[in-house]
Structure 1
């Protein structure tokens, strides 16, 4: 298992507009690789905020299950960030990467949390209480990360499961946003094109 130790935060090495990759090279901070794992970090922060808001809801099985999946996802996103911060062919044998099993676990969670939710006659407006809104923000942030990783994959090799994982994760966050709204008794608002 890869563990890192951070002793020093201010190094000044990035003052020139470049940063160290996990594989040892330096890269410009505006490169597609840095944009990719930076967007994944933003998504992780948004999920962390949603998870903290979840803890304000009443304790019970729903909260426990949601907290567990969100925490697992946050760890996966750190693994994905590490994977993206390593140039192709330089992954260490013990370095965790996103694999097909991680994608399958997300797909199973989507099915489980979606079961019993009412069918949608229209698009859902982001909202549904503070937690529901936070999960929709996290969903859209994951979509941005997915776009950044797809952009990177056009320039350099990126593991196929990594790209798929972000797509499934946005699906899961959409379902969790709906699940939280319904489970915690908030109103789910639907898009009404007549309101324009």
Structure 2
């Protein structure tokens, strides 16, 4: 039995990538504003490892505002074809400008231009307004690389709790909870089984 939750996630994620029809890296991200009111939406996992689980977005979006006000988040991966879920909870930190620049450079040009054209989560008078802004960005950056907008970047959820849920017959599911414990010489993980 694997006692390292990051190694277990790697294994489950590889199986999901082989089996899921679309977006095995899709995850729900739950945030809360300064008053504690929650919100949740789907985003794509772009990197993961012992340091955390990374996604990218507009920092001036609703989730960006919530992460600034309350820098904690919860993630949920649901791989229906495998009948598995993984929940991750922990504080959030911004990725470095260098990491954000490197990832932004890998995005398709249309997505890069869209990041400049969109005031994500803010009211949009009409679709035409957005399309006009997109065309203006296309013209502005024609013939050159599209730089990363200053308001766009990455967030890393540093896991303090990771729960692995495996479906079993008759709703007798298996739940394994790993909690990070700070110990001399580095962090360690404890594991607990949970009732289904």
TM-score (norm 2): 0.26
TM-score (norm 1): 0.26
Instruction: Name the one with the larger helix percent.
Output: 1
Instruction: Name the one with the larger strand percent.
Output: 2
Report 1 or 2 for greater relative contact order, CA contacts < 8 Å, sequence distance ≥ 6: 1
